[in-house]
Amino acid sequence: MTYKQIKSFYTLGSLLPFSIMDRYLAMQLLPLFLFGVGAFTSVVLAIDSLFELLRKVVESGLPINIALKVFILKLPYVMVYSFPMSTLLATLMTYSRLSSESELIALRGCGVSVYRMVLTAVLLSSLVTAMTYIFNEQIAPAANYEATRTLEQALKSDKPSFKQHNIYYPEYREVKEKDGSTTKILSRLFYADQFDGKQMQGLTIIDRSREGLNQILVSESAQWNASQKVWNFYNGTIYLVAPDRSYRNILRFEHQQLQLPRTPLNLAENSRDYGEMNISQALQQLEVERLAGNPQKIRKLEVRIQQKIAFPFVCIIFGLVGSAMGTIPQRTGRGTSFGISVIVIFSYYLLLSVSGALAQADILSPLIGAWLPNSFGLVTGLFLLMRVAQR
């Protein structure tokens, strides 16, 4: 396109809120964004999953169809991380090309401000943010969890496929006070040292659910009886305590059945890794960890929850930074733009790792640790944008 054609084209487009200019820029951004999603997803998948799956196929006899299923299930989790990177690549390459071909100069000659030029990229990045949130909250955790279960089931032997430690489950009941108000008190507390996938080990249960009788059960192991819907306890002791906290009786047993909720087993079976939980599940897990009282796990989960909330917004940050950097008058090719994108991405994830580690070490709050990289990127993008606008 000649300079006059570009000028007349953008003069018409800049007069409308969603104009020809916006559609033109969107059509330039979309192919590069899709290219970036494919490229980054392929690279990350190859590094993170493909080589490990191939090793399991060769060494552990993992069936090819199972390996392919796990590979596909891993796609959404990796795509979540490729969306922001692709946004940066697309905006930087598009605006750099338009700048090098003087199309942005034509825009400014028509009276279109740099802010208006960049607005298109920011709005499209907002759509990518929404898409990232949906993937990160609804699709990726479930798919990643299913991939883990599928792989465990395919490779399992006689040994349990997983082990959980420190299973806590409290139950509360409401009690009316003399003044008419209600308060919650502990009704039953279930604790097990570990769950190996079949049995609970090292159990202690405090039961205050029956009026006039409190009991403490200590057992070597326990297993859920699905047919009778009861717990089978083995090699334990039941201590009966009167309401006035005086001794009442001690019962020793080799096998004892008790009707207790299955919920502790559900809790142990559904325990997931951080990448396999959405925000709601992570908040539920946080409540459990707070009951367990492990400060390190609590802090780590608090930081991960904040990072999960903050992460999708990096698409807007990268869209702003990429378009602002691209509008700087320069003569750069696609190779240079790709290199700059890699440097920016590496810098962001480095800052994300450092701030996350500082938050887990209680040097920064979880909120600041999660949002600091986004804040730094926003300030950088606005600074670059104002510098270009002042030229």
Res 231 pLDDT > 60: yes
Res 351 pLDDT > 90: yes
230 in Cβ contact with 257 (< 8 Å): yes
Residue 163: which residues within 8 A CB-CB, separation 6 or more? 194, 195, 196, 197
- d(CA 222, CA 332) in angstroms, rounded, equals 67
Q: Is the full-model pTM beyond 0.85?
A: no
Question: What pLDDT is stored for residue 159 in this prediction?
Answer: 43
Res 34 pLDDT > 90: yes
Radius of gyration of the chain (CA): 29
- pLDDT tens, 327-350? 887 655 666 777 888 888 899 999
% of the chain residues with pLDDT over 90: 26
Res 65 pLDDT > 80: yes
Residue 59: which residues within 8 A CB-CB, separation 6 or more? none
296 in Cβ contact with 355 (< 8 Å): no
- Which range among 40-54, 79-93, 291-305 has the greatest average pLDDT? 79-93
188 in Cβ contact with 217 (< 8 Å): no
Res 16 pLDDT > 70: no
- d(CA 278, CA 138) in angstroms, rounded, equals 7
Q: Mean pLDDT in the chain?
A: 82
Length of the chain counted residue by residue = 391
Q: Please give the structure tokens belonging to residue 224.
A: 């859920």
- Sign (positive or negative) of CA dihedral 127, 128, 129, 130: positive
268 in Cβ contact with 260 (< 8 Å): no
Bridge partner residues of 256 (DSSP):
233
**Taking Cα atoms as reference points, which of 245, 242, 260, 248 lies closest to residue 204?**
260
Question: What pLDDT is stored for residue 20 in this prediction?
Answer: 79
- pLDDT tens, 137-193? 989 988 888 888 888 777 764 344 446 777 877 887 777 777 777 887 878 888 888
Residue whose structure tokens are 């804040």: 375
Question: What pLDDT is stored for residue 150 in this prediction?
Answer: 85
Question: What pLDDT is stored for residue 9 in this prediction?
Answer: 46
**Taking Cα atoms as reference points, which of 84, 114, 96 lies closest to residue 319?**
84
Q: Which amino acid is at 192?
A: A
Question: What pLDDT is stored for residue 86 in this prediction?
Answer: 93
Question: How many angstroms separate the most distant Cα atoms in the chain?
Answer: 98
Q: Indicate the pairing of strand 200-210 with strand 213-225.
A: antiparallel
Q: Is 231 helix (H, G, I), strand (E, B) or coil?
A: strand
Q: What is the mean pLDDT of residues 188-212?
A: 83
79 in Cβ contact with 135 (< 8 Å): yes
